[in-house]
């Protein structure tokens, strides 16, 4: 994964570790997409989304503004996405279900013919709504191309 050897997520703590992982995976996922490694890029962006959502809910200040039900599972990405949408943090324009199905397909097969441009734009909008993007890539650890 794009963060292997570049950070110690546990040392950074649950908040900053998740944020750094999300940003490293955004950078790595986009690189993989540009390289034509579409399936790997999609899966990497999914991991970035999971990290971004965990970062968002890890802060007591941000979490305090969320509409969390007793039945919500904060360890389930679909549930967290729903909470963020219900709470007005994200606008719901990103089709999480479609992206989840795309990730399942990417895990099963190489999808080199997939045009990722639209999903990437929607993903970047979602990351902006979550306040994970924009970020200065120069502030990230140097990328290790050998991570795939």
SS3 90: coil
Q: Provide the CA 102 distance to its chain's centre, in angstroms.
A: 14
Indicate if the pLDDT at residue 13 is higher than 60.
Answer: no
pLDDT digits (tens, 9 = 90+) for 65-83: 999 999 999 999 999 999 9
pTM of the predicted structure, to 2 decimals: 0.86
Closest CA to 132 of 4, 29, 1: 29
So where are the chain's domains? 9-132
Other beta carbons less than 10 A from residue 118's beta carbon: 8
Structure confidence at residue 2 as a pLDDT band (50, 70, 90)? very low
The average pLDDT across 55-59 equals: 94
Structure confidence at residue 132 as a pLDDT band (50, 70, 90)? very high
Burial (Cβ within 10 Å: 0-12, 13-18, ≥19) of residue 91: exposed
Query: Which tokens go with 52?
Result: 């971004």
Q: How high is the pLDDT of residue 139?
A: 83
Q: How high is the pLDDT of residue 3?
A: 41
Share of the chain above pLDDT 90, in %: 77
Indicate if the pLDDT at residue 27 is higher than 70.
Answer: yes
Which sign does the torsion angle of CA 17, 23, 24, 26 carry?
Answer: positive
Burial track 56-84 (b if 16+ CB lie within 10 A, e otherwise): bbbeeebeeebeeeeeeeeeeeebbbbbb
């Amino acid at each position: 994964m794009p963060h292997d050897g570049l950070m110690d997520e546990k040392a950074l703590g649950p908040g900053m570790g998740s944020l750094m992982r999300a940003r490293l995976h955004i950078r790595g996922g986009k690189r993989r997409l540009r390289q034509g490694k579409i399936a790997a890029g999609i899966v990497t962006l999914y991991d970035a989304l999971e990290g971004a959502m965990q970062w968002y809910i890890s802060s007591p200040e941000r979490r305090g503004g969320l509409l969390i039900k007793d039945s919500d599972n904060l360890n389930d990405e679909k549930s967290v996405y729903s909470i963020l949408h219900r709470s007005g943090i994200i606008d719901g324009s990103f089709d999480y279900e479609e992206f989840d199905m795309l990730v399942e397909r990417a895990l099963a097969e190489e999808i080199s013919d997939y045009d990722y441009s639209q999903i990437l734009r929607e993903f970047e909008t979602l990351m902006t709504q979550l306040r994970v993007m924009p970020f200065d890539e120069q502030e990230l650890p140097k990328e290790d191309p050998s991570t795939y």
